[in-house]
Amino acid sequence: MVISLIEQSEHLVKADKLLYALREVTATVDSIPLIASSVMSKKIAAGANKILLDVAVGQGAFMKSLEEAEHLSETMVSLGREVGRETIAVITDMSQPLGRAIGNRLEIFEAIEIMQGKGHADITEFICGLAEILLNLTGVESSSDKIRQHLVEGVALSKFEELIEAQGGDLDDLYRKSAAAYVTEVLADEEGYISELPALAFGKYAMKLGAGRTTKADTLNYETGIVFEKKWGFCQSK
């Protein structure tokens, strides 16, 4: 199996960048037809003949309601099928952060933990479910249990390390500890159940810490971010 990490270049859907700039100044960034055409144009132009789309819905996503997410999903699936690309869309709840970490290096650490078979049950189940759909889409019979076994046995992590080395990455840098200047624990002042973990609000907090940009001129801090020990529905002690 071949795997790679790629990004948009000046040779791929060159008009998309210009169209996005127009969307920003015409208040159409959240236009479903324009989002769908932007997403699908890159995948179709790159030559993908099997496409799995993860469509987020909730506070931390462009689509705030399930109805909007379903509309976007149906539009993108239709676009894919019209040009002969087998396309499946999965709708994901983004009302709270998907994993336990927000931030560039922190999210990499969490991804490595998952590929070591040490990830939290909810995010691991989600990833294995997506992987099962993707493999079956390409004609490879598999199950989420078998995929989870690949995580536990280190097969997935080994393949990821191959990917990093093949694209000129540094494995020593991948595994180095965070160089964050400060680490602050925020503790609960009373016992109870966590009823909300707003993704948008915490995303904005992380951005203020330097994990994201508010303008193109901003410099990213790859070490900073937020890690959650508990999520919705968990009981929290003092």
pLDDT in tens, 75-98: 999 999 999 999 999 999 999 999
- pLDDT above 90 (res 213): no
- pLDDT above 80 (res 7): no
- Listed residue (78, 20, 8, 75) closest to 45, CA to CA: 8
Q: Rounded distance, CA 134 to CA 232, Å? A: 28
Q: Rounded distance, CA 21 to CA 205, Å? A: 26
Please tell me the predicted confidence (pLDDT) of residue 17: 79
Please tell me the predicted confidence (pLDDT) of residue 1: 58
Please tell me the predicted confidence (pLDDT) of residue 11: 77
Domains and CATH numbers, the chain: 14-95 (1.20.970.50)
At 227 the three-state DSSP class reads strand
pTM for this predicted structure: 0.85
- pLDDT above 80 (res 216): no
- pLDDT above 90 (res 225): yes
